[in-house]
Every structure is written in C-alpha cells, then in structure tokens.
Amino acid sequence: MSYEALDVQTRDGVCTVTLNRPEKFNAMSLPMRRELGDCFHEIAADTDIKVVVLTGAGDAFSAGGDINDFHGRAEEMHTLMGRISHRWFRAFLNLPQPVIAAVNGAAAGGGCNLALACDLVYASESAYFAQTFREIGLVPDLGGAFSLPRLVGLARAKEMALLGERIDARKAAEMNLIDGVFSAEQLDG
C-alpha cells in the first residue's frame, strides 16, 4: 500500500495507518479522504492484519476536515464530501479488525470524531480533544452526533458541541471520552 497523504506500515499483524500531512495538522483533504477509503478497503481484505492503529504524523492526530478544499466550491463540495466521506468512513466503520486510536496531539472537529469512532482511544499527555464545528457553522460529523452522547452523556455532549472547548487528555479520560493516557514515549512504543 502506497499513498501520498498516509503512511501505512504493517508488521506482525499490526497495521499502523498514519495521517501524514503534519504541516496541515493532518487535516483531511479530499485526496486524503480518497486514500483513506482505498486504505480501509485494502485492510479489510487482508486477513494477515489482526489490528489497526490509527495515528497522526507530527504534533497532531488530525485537525479534522481541510476547509481550504471548500473555498469557492460550496455546492460542489457538498456533493463530493457526501460521496467521498461516506465511502471512506463506511469502510472504516466496517473494518473487521479492531482499531486503536493513538492520539498524539490535537484531535479537533472531524479528527476528534474519527478518534472517538475507534474501538479503543489512547492519548498522549499532550493530546487534546475539541468539537470545533461551531467555528465554521457545522454540526459534528463523522459520527460525533451519535457517539458523543453515548460516551459522555447528553448534557456534556451538548456542551462540547456548542462551546467547542479543548479537553485535555486527563480530563477526557476522567469523563470516559477516551480509554487511557500515556506519555508520548509509551504511546509511540
């Protein structure tokens, strides 16, 4: 598997998928979304892969969607996003292997919800989570409107979506948003 916006490595049954646009905080561009669809379809078909680890390159897990894709293309983007995002996210949700999110930094907007859609979510001490959709006039996507209330309760989910505040890794673990917090070295290892 070879990609431009992803780094995919498989060793001993563990497939590590790294969102690889560190200069953009791993914001999911349209090309990355297409690659994610291809990648997850390939992983699903590979019976040698027993577990998937999803992480981000550099200082962020993912800043969510790359809003630069939208400039001057709102109508076209609505159609493209629906088609492309549904394909890759459906492939992700249907993976037969368990998926572990290794959140190494910022997980914002769609990046936060992608992490929360994983089977297990572990974060470094410097990671944070934020529902930043209100800043661009959107509602939580990538399953966030579904998963947030189930993870933290309806009142806390509303607060996260409406206020968009950063929640550090320790607090995220305390409120059952994630499964554990580790040092950066432990998370990488």
CATH number at residue 128: 3.90.226.10
> pLDDT-derived band of residue 75, with 50, 70 and 90 as boundaries?
low
In a domain, 116, yes or no: yes
In a domain, 169, yes or no: yes
Instruction: Let me know if 148 is exposed, middle or buried by CB neighbors in 10 A (0-12, 13-18, 19+).
Output: buried
More confident: 18 or 80: 18
| Distance from the first to the final alpha carbon of the chain | 23
In a domain, 115, yes or no: yes
pLDDT at residue 78 tops 70: no
More confident: 84 or 169: 169
This prediction has a pTM of 0.92
DSSP per-residue string spanning 43-73:
HHH-TT--EEEEEESTTEEE--B-GGGGTT-
Mean pLDDT to the nearest integer, 73-99: 81
In a domain, 24, yes or no: yes
The pLDDT value given to residue 150: 93
The pLDDT value given to residue 132: 86
pLDDT tens digits, one per residue of 150-165: 999 999 999 999 999 9
φ/ψ of 76, rounded to 5, equals -60, -40
Q: What integer best gives the mean pLDDT of the chain? A: 91
In a domain, 103, yes or no: yes
pLDDT tens digits, one per residue of 21-60: 999 999 999 899 999 999 999 999 999 999 999 999 999 9
In a domain, 159, yes or no: yes
> pLDDT-derived band of residue 73, with 50, 70 and 90 as boundaries?
low
The pLDDT value given to residue 101: 98
pLDDT at residue 74 tops 70: no
Sign of CA dihedral 71, 77, 78, 82: negative
In a domain, 1, yes or no: no
> pLDDT-derived band of residue 86, with 50, 70 and 90 as boundaries?
confident
More confident: 174 or 69: 174
Range of the domain at 117: 6-188
Indicate the number of domains in the chain.
1
Single-letter amino acid, residue 40: F
The pLDDT value given to residue 1: 67
